[in-house]
Structure 1
């Protein structure tokens, strides 16, 4: 019986794949077991949502990457991003016993890629936080992109900056050949190196000489235990940095590694005399790691996003934290027609326009296409990302962009619909109705994979990407192609 059943479903699938319009495929019967397989089409409706419609705090951005810069797009307006980071101190750290001083300190931002104009003149400012941010894992609001360190009292904009520096993505102090060689060797461009001793007044203390390096060394001499672990270092020496763009626009850095690098002067024994008087310099790096706090902040042009969200002939995706697409399924209609049947396959595809607009087609800095979309219930988005869940192909689904079909496809949605049908049969209807309660959204995501290529985690896509999709409240409906079976039992 099992083989005949699979053969019936296989034939239905073959018919389905050969005809885009499955309505009218008809029915066939596996006579021996009287199992009928059929196909039917329903229509889903889509519209554009702002991420802040899902959560007023924006998107959850607990990630080991940071983003920095400002860019204005002809379609989506101005986007600005900066970040807060703490610096880790390894347990039991000590400077060499004969250390004389910390000669220089820099903050190094290493990036493997970027978006925009590599030669755009930009200026970055680094401020030291006024107090430590205690990340106990309980206050998840710390990791939302709307988090404001000024409003929360961690940073005072009236205080003199620690450092400010002009830069461009492609540092002209390096030749093209040197840059390409460095990039091919370690995957990163030459880092953005910010001199933390450049300004003579660091704002740390009015009566100090002002050099940040001297401040660090004074703290170490005051109490070596301030450097014994990350907690002590963050609460007694360096609460963290707020790194943000103060002028210029045209590029966004995708930062992978952050280093606080101290150049230290210490003494070693002179071989010829045995005297401890030979001067040696070494570089000691402290890193921003997963064990300490890091969070990206960003803002988009709200007026522009509101205008795009109001367009009804199509929908949009825009990352980071810009626009996503709502999908309303015709559940009651489907239940009335197929509520007692077995759903073998429910598939749907979202087709992308070639370009967002003529503006984007002619732009020299064209946004990328989101590569992966998460299909998830609208009311489950917050918990999914905060709890670091993975998609399960039962209630959450991952669709990957295909350049061949220019679309995102989802083919196992029958598992979700079957569960919803079961709820409709056995549970009390939600106050807002089954259709509204099970409204879905498409959210661009980044995937984390293991060594075998299996997806082990998802996070919000925080790079600059966009897509315009067919659909919309007044546009084309999204076809839901369903293959189902009707077992007929002998009396």
Structure 2
């Protein structure tokens, strides 16, 4: 048995930056703000969202509805830019239900009255200055937006009249399509909102020890969850300096909704050379692919005063299958699609499991499906990968316990401004295979 390591194919790889200005925005992450970053571009973000209603409201003994508040919660470090930059957002009710899938290029004017007045305005900044220590220790902050009292009364009365309206997201969306939260003033900061809820504050009377007791209370009426439709409206103007460098041959990744990398992957040549090496007569009678590894390094970016990081993950998928991947909420199957995590120590991404991609192509070729251009047009796309820990235990004479990280969602990367410069001259592609010879 002979082990062959072949790195000759990397010279056939070519890469280029391609626009990625209309991504599927299926994520509960919501970006709000406006910022201009030298060496990156101008980014403006807002969002449209439906809400998951609470199945039950507390209505017994409620004397007065005090306020309805939209809380946009974010972590201490979940913003880009100047935390003291004065910003303002405005809130508009949607007038019709959001269509799915929602793309970042969505026109909000299709869903709200652009000539109408907002139902709420809120000035804010991302800083923790002025917050009490008790809130700072929690590690998150909320942009608190008071909504009209009429809206609070409308929800409350509707629940008392017809609780079934709140029984499912689809039924509730017919009654209340959602909100459009728009950046209306300011520049210099973009906030990544991880959790959005709408809370009702009210005064309630109850009987305690045969005496009436009045107190204030609050309940969550609705929230943004993975089950409902929500989308980020993103406008990114890539810095002219980046555009000129791309025209000169450099290759950039920019997110969110900026630039992907289109790669010519030499699938035909790899398969042809492998099949010739292991099955074209002579003394060779058998071959097995051991591994196919793609290593994508990055270069330092000179003009990066904001310290923007590369995307945490890259998706490897055929260009022809990209939109389907996100629209149908697929996960990587490690046959037709893969992801790699950014390694900050080596400043690179490594796709180590591409052996199965090649085996799949070879098997289909043997069954009569020829390799096409689509098999050689690969896109590298910035994504966020979400996972959860799954525990399992078993016993048979003894007890065993294990935990495993299971990927639950892969979505286009929209968490924060991000940029990477591909070191195109040093991309590595290494094929390792075994072949057996007859003596």
Alignment TM-score, normalising by the size of structure 2: 0.84
Question: Cα deviation per residue 1:245-268 (whole Å; 9 max; x = unaligned)?
Answer: 111111121112111111112333
Cα distance change on mapping 1:388 and 1:233 into 2, 3 Å: closer
2:425 matches 1:479: no
SS in 1 for 2:247: coil
For residues 248 and 384 of structure 1, the distance between their equivalents in structure 2, rounded to whole angstroms, comes to 36
Residue 438 of structure 1 corresponds to which residue in structure 2? Answer: 376
- Whose strand fraction is larger, Structure 1's or Structure 2's? 2
Q: Displacement of 1:286 after TM fit? A: 1.8
Poorly superposed stretches of 4+, deviation over 6 Å = none
Give the corresponding residue for 2:147: 196
SS of match in other structure, 1:314: coil
Which of residues 227, 230, 235 in structure 2 aligns to 1:291? 227
CA 1:417/1:100 → structure 2, altered by over 3 Å: closer, same or farther?
A: same
- Tell which structure's C-alpha radius of gyration is larger: 1
8 Å Cα contact 1:394/1:413 also seen in 2? yes
After TM superposition, the structure 1 = structure 2 runs for residues 435-474 of structure 1, keeping only pairs within 5 Å, are: 435-451=373-389, 452-463=404-415, 464-471=417-424
Provide the C-alpha distance between the structure 2 equivalents of 1:281 and 1:404, rounded to a whole number of angstroms. 52
Post-superposition CA distance 1:180-211 (Å, at most 9, x none): 3121xxxx22x1101113xxxxxxxxxxxx74
Aligned match of 2:262: 326
Contact in 2 for aligned 1:351/1:470 (Cα 8 Å): yes
Q: Any residues of structure 2 matched to 1:269-308 within 5 Å, and which? A: 269=207, 278-288=213-223, 289-301=225-237, 304=240, 307=243
Match 1:65 to one of 25, 29, 53: 29
The Cα of 1:306 is off from its aligned counterpart by 8.5
**Match of residue 348, structure 1, among 268, 278, 294:** 294
**Which residue of the other structure, out of 261, 275, 282, is the alignment partner of 2:199?**
261
CA contact (8 A) 2:40 2:239 kept: no
Among 398, 402, 422, the alignment partner of 2:343 is 402
Q: 1:106 to 1:416 in 2, by over 3 A?
A: same
Contact 2:40–2:242 (CA<8 Å) still a contact in 1? no
Q: Which string of whole-angstrom CA distances, capped at 9 and with x for unpartnered residues, describes residues 121-149 of structure 1?
A: 1001011112344xxxxx533x2212223
Equivalent residue in structure 2 for 1:46, among 15, 40, 46: 15
Structure 1 pair 147/167, CA: closer, same or farther in 2 (3 Å)? same
Is 1:149 aligned with 2:108? yes
CA drift of 1:168 comes to 0.1
Correspondence for 1:107: 70
Could you say if the C-alpha distance between residues 215 and 76 of structure 1 is closer, same or farther in structure 2, counting changes exceeding 3 Å? Answer: same
Q: 1:393 to 1:226 in 2, by over 3 A?
A: closer
The answer to whether the 8 Å contact 2:16/2:263 transfers is yes
How well do the aligned residues superpose, as a CA RMSD in angstroms?
2.7
Please, what TM-score do these two structures have when normalized by structure 1? 0.76
Cα deviation for residue 170 of structure 1 reads 1.4
8 Å CA contact 2:25, 2:230 repeated in 1: no
How big is the shift at 1:156? 0.5
Q: What does residue 13 of structure 1 align with?
A: none
Secondary structure in 1 matching 2:357: helix
Measure the CA separation in 1 of the matches of 2:316 and 2:208.
Answer: 67
Whole-Å separation in 2 of the counterparts to 1:167 and 1:261: 19
Quote how far apart the aligned CAs of 1:477 are.
6.2
TM superposition shift of 1:167: 0.3
Counterpart among 393, 414, 424 of residue 334 in structure 2 = 393
CA distance in 2 between counterparts of 1:411 and 1:395 reads 14
Matched, 1:89 2:89: no
Provide the rounded CA distance (Å) in 2 between the counterparts of 1:304 and 1:436: 31
Deviates more, 1:73-82 or 1:288-297: 288-297
Name the counterpart of 1:384: 325
Q: Secondary structure at the match of 2:137?
A: helix
Asked if 2 retains the 8 angstrom alpha-carbon contact of 1:49 and 1:309, the reply is no
- Aligned twin of 2:284: none
Instruction: Check whether the contact 1:50–1:305 (CA below 8 A) recurs between aligned residues.
Output: no
Structure 1 residues 369 and 247, CA, compared in 2 at 3 Å: closer, same or farther?
Answer: same
Aligned residue pairs, count: 408
Q: Relative to structure 1, is the Cα distance of residues 309 and 155 closer, same or farther in structure 2, using a 3 angstrom cutoff?
A: farther
Equivalent residues of 1:45, 1:478 under 8 A apart: no
Structure 2 residue matching 1:130: 3-state secondary structure? coil
